[in-house]
């Protein structure tokens, strides 16, 4: 099983100044953190895409390209590319370029994203939410698998016998995963297409997703795809410290981000009881000491049969030194215990 770390580039909010943390400082910290991930043997790094004042990264491929220059082995993925509001040709071009820079380490996680700011920003209508994604995924997969592309859709101009350059290292093919939040229709689509699956489990109890993942396995095999090539990942909020005081203190970072998002979605203020419930064995938070986190990841392997775990590790913008320690522990203590 592969073990990875994901980030959204959360920006802490300073109540005294009324401003978010400087995005440039945050991005430079991310590059430093990915370099450490590579050094401690983490398998995958996934960088999210957002278009909001509380996140630093709107172009994951740029950050991943910078990370490629300071790493040697770690796979570099978007987590996720909001494909509905992206141009598939440019997505392939950017990630094939990243693939060449990194000597074959680029991956794309495609999804609809959990926010909608990119739609009006890039001039797309939310009325076309489903159709945009389906059409663009079809085109991206075609570009990924064929040298010369001819394609016709309804919401984008057609392509006639055109080739997208440069081609990625593996005969032009990038690893493209489908990232979902729990919608059966999305899971079914991924299964039929034979795409690797990433399920975001960030609340409630992971066991609630078991039927969904079993549904994916069943439909993947029904579609005639080989079981040996099936890949399933989960992506969950994660933070590691062997200092209980740090784990307790991290609640404030976590709460700040949950409350900021929740304010626009009508959520009640996040509570310590929710935090501790999420940290329990049956909860969805992989937050605790190295043994607690390792045991919980192993439990995910047991109930889901996952082939990859991505720990989303920068929720609430923990201080850089605290993040570096969490990454170090994840690579040097959690990973060996899981393996």
Nearest by Cα to 169 from 124, 113, 107: 107
Q: What is the mean pLDDT of residues 307-313?
A: 98
% of the chain residues with pLDDT over 70: 100
* Residue 240 φ/ψ, nearest 5 degrees: -125, 130
Average pLDDT over residues 160-187: 96
pLDDT of residue 113: 78
Q: What is the pLDDT of residue 145?
A: 97
pLDDT at 134: 96
Closest to 109 in 3D by CA, of 52, 71, 157, 61: 61
Percent of the chain with pLDDT over 90: 96
Please report the pLDDT score of residue 129 as a whole number.
92
Per the DSSP assignment, residues forming a β-bridge with 44 are: 4, 75
pLDDT at 206: 97
- Give the distance, in angstroms, between the CA of residue 166 and the centroid of all CA atoms in the same chain: 25
| Rounded Cα–Cα distance for residues 311 and 65 (Å) | 21
254-280: per-residue pLDDT in tens?
A: 999 999 999 888 999 999 999 999 999
Q: What is the average per-residue pLDDT within 192-204?
A: 96
User: pLDDT tens for residues 87-120?
Assistant: 999 999 999 999 999 999 999 999 987 789 999 9
163, 149 in Cβ contact below 8 A?
A: yes
Q: Please identify, in words, the CATH class of the domain defined by 2-338.
A: alpha beta
- If you average pLDDT over every residue of the chain, what do you get? 97
pLDDT: which is higher, 175 or 114: 175
- 74, two tokens: 């770690």
* Average pLDDT, integer, range 292-310: 98
pTM of the model: 0.97
The residue among 236, 277, 296, 230 whose CA lies nearest residue 79 is 236
pLDDT average, residue stretch 44-52: 97
Report pLDDT for 15. 86
For residue 320, the model assigns a pLDDT of 98
**Distance (Å, whole) CA 301 – CA 279:** 17
Domain ranges of the chain: 2-338
HEC string of the chain?
CEEEEEECCECCEECCCCEECCHHHHHHHHHHHHHHHHHCCCCEEEECCCCCCCECCCCHHHHHHHHHCCCCCCEEEECCEEHHHCCHHHHHHHHHHHHHHCCCCEEEEEECCCCCCHHHHHCCCHHHHHHHHHHHHHHHHHHHHCCCEEECCCCCCCEEEECCCCCECCCECCEEEEEECCCHHHHHHHHHHCCCEEEECCCCCHHHHHHHHHHHHHHHHHCCCCHHHCCEEEEEEEEECCCHHHHHHHHHHHHHHHHHHHHHHCCCCCCHHHHHHHHCCCCCCEEECHHHHHHHHHHHHHHHCCCEEEEECCCCCCCHHHHHHHHHHHHHHHHHHHC
Inter-CA distances, 35 with 40, 116, 210, 263, Å: 9, 31, 34, 34
Is the previous residue joined to 80 through a cis bond, with omega within 30 degrees of 0?
Answer: yes
């Amino acid at each position: 099983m592969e073990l990875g770390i994901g980030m959204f580039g959360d920006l802490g909010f300073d109540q005294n100044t009324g401003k978010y943390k400087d995005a440039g400082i945050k991005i430079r910290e991310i590059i430093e953190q990915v370099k450490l991930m590579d050094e401690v043997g983490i398998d995958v790094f996934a960088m999210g895409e957002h278009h909001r004042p509380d996140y630093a990264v709107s172009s994951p491929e740029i950050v991943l390209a910078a990370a490629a220059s300071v790493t040697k082995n770690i796979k570099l993925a978007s987590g996720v590319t909001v494909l509905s509001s992206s141009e598939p040709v440019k997505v392939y071009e950017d990630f094939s370029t990243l693939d060449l820079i990194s000597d074959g380490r680029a991956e794309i996680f495609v999804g609809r994203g959990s926010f909608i700011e990119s739609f009006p920003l890039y001039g797309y209508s939310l009325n076309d939410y489903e159709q945009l994604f389906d059409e663009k995924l079809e085109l991206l997969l075609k570009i990924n698998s064929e040298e010369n592309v001819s394609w016709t859709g309804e919401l984008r101009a057609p392509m006639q016998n055109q080739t997208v350059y440069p081609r990625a290292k593996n005969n032009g093919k990038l690893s493209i995963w489908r990232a979902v939040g729990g919608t059966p229709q999305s899971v079914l689509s991924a299964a039929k297409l034979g795409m690797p699956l990433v399920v975001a489990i960030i609340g409630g109890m992971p066991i609630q997703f078991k039927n969904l993942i079993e549904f994916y396995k069943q439909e993947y095999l029904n579609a005639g795809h080989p079981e040996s090539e099936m890949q399933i990942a989960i992506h969950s909020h994660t933070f590691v410290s062997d200092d209980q005081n740090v784990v307790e203190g991290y609640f404030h970072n976590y709460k700040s981000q949950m409350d900021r998002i929740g304010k626009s979605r009508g959520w009640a203020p996040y509570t310590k009881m929710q935090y501790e419930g999420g940290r329990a064995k049956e909860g969805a938070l992989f937050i605790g000491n190295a043994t607690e986190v390792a045991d919980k990841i192993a439990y995910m392997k047991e109930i889901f049969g996952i082939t990859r775990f991505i720990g989303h590790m920068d929720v609430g913008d923990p201080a850089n030194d605290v993040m570096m320690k969490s990454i170090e522990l994840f690579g040097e203590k959690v990973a060996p215990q899981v393996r």
